[in-house]
Structure 1
């Protein structure tokens, strides 16, 4: 896997626009692009092999809200699209696969309704990524606004024996802050789990990506990068 393939560019959607939050706080939003489809095409043109799309409105409201935008993104590119945000029912997940999404990220539902979550994993084998959003060392759910009693590893272990694609580990305290990823936490998860771990949160430079890339032999599959690309800290076209 090349360094470029290791990077999973992010498109965070709010009110149909491309935005980034600061440390998961919805009142600290910066709009980067009005047209998410153009952004997706740009990532494809730069050589990305997959993109990460998040429906922030959906994460807060408990069901996908930018459905038409996501559908337009999927139809406009030939690369893999993974989607998360508000997927808290079987029907919501099924609807995303029906419009061509390749993988889904599920966090809150895995915590709140294991029966429904297991049904999804059974019907969509190796298509589900378990979202582990960590805040102050504990897993957070519902758009990062509620903290649980689980540590990231405790939560991941519940699903590591299932036919999932892997885990997405986000350090919420670093997300959108470009202060560097949680290398220690990412490595700890990856080396203690059977499935891949995708890193997210805090990347602010190409060196941050390289530091995570060095962990691929431990089971780190890739890294979701958003703000560092939008702010010009990482230039995909130069990789």
Structure 2
């Protein structure tokens, strides 16, 4: 299982939002690349980056910051405003390893299929759910589409990685929705990266236990718990290797 330490960028700064609400923001660093370097020094090969301004605006707003992170040599998984081919190509051209399509995936399976055909494993789909229903546009709108149904459609067109975020737990430090993550892993063959709610090392251990039953639960994104020092990245990386 891969640990993905997270950097959310808003206004050029590394922040965390509570349940994705723009008015519930905590600033943790003014230079996201410096945060990435601390993750890299700890031994993490990957970093999960979200351009929050891009998610709300519909197109990336912090690509200079993203490029600086990519220049550290880390593998960057980027989401936020990835809604057309030109934007995706631009991000990959900056050194991003994997682009996460969220809102557009809920709107057009055809678009995702085209991107998978063009870029293969460099394309991931982000499914953000509230009460099992897909939310889009920075979690502002809910769609009425079931998260599992969308995941199955994405799996069928060849998406290899799905990032599944339970909005109800994101940023709350209350623990992941283990049942929802296992249900998602059981429903598809794509690799599932769990996101939302990790607050302690036992949460990662719990997800690792699910991985034993569902080997395609291949990763977990950890954000606020790292910034508030509730967990140590080195410890989580060690757990993930066992």
Counterparts of residues 125-204 of structure 1 (less than 5 Å): 125-204=120-199
Spell out, residue by residue over 1:113-162, the C-alpha distance to the aligned partner (whole angstroms, 9 max, x if none).
33332221110011111111001220101110110111111011111123
Spell out, residue by residue over 1:77-105, the C-alpha distance to the aligned partner (whole angstroms, 9 max, x if none).
x2311000000111111110111100011
Task: Quote the Cα distance in structure 1 between the aligned partners of 2:3 and 2:189.
Answer: 21
Residue 66 of structure 1 corresponds to which residue in structure 2?
A: 62
- Provide TM-score, normalisation by structure 2: 0.94
State whether structure 2 residue 34 is matched by structure 1 residue 43: no
CA contact (8 A) 1:127 1:164 kept: no
State whether structure 2 residue 5 is matched by structure 1 residue 12: no
Larger deviation, residues 117-126 vs 175-184: 117-126
- The CA RMSD measured in Å over matched residues stands at 1.1
CA contact (8 A) 2:109 2:154 kept: no
User: Which one of 228, 231, 234 corresponds to residue 234 of structure 1?
Assistant: 231
Residue 89 of structure 2 corresponds to which residue in structure 1?
A: 94
Residue 24 of structure 2 corresponds to which residue in structure 1?
A: 28
Runs of 4 or more off by more than 3 Å in structure 1? none
Is there any run of 5+ residues in structure 2 with no aligned partner, and where?
A: none
CA contact (8 A) 1:181 1:208 kept: yes
Larger proportion of helix: 2
Task: Quote the Cα distance in structure 1 between the aligned partners of 2:62 and 2:160.
Answer: 24
* Deviation of 1:45 (Å): 0.5
* Deviation of 1:195 (Å): 0.8
Is there any run of 5+ residues in structure 1 with no aligned partner, and where?
A: none
Q: How many residues align?
A: 234
Secondary structure at 1:233's aligned position in 2?
coil
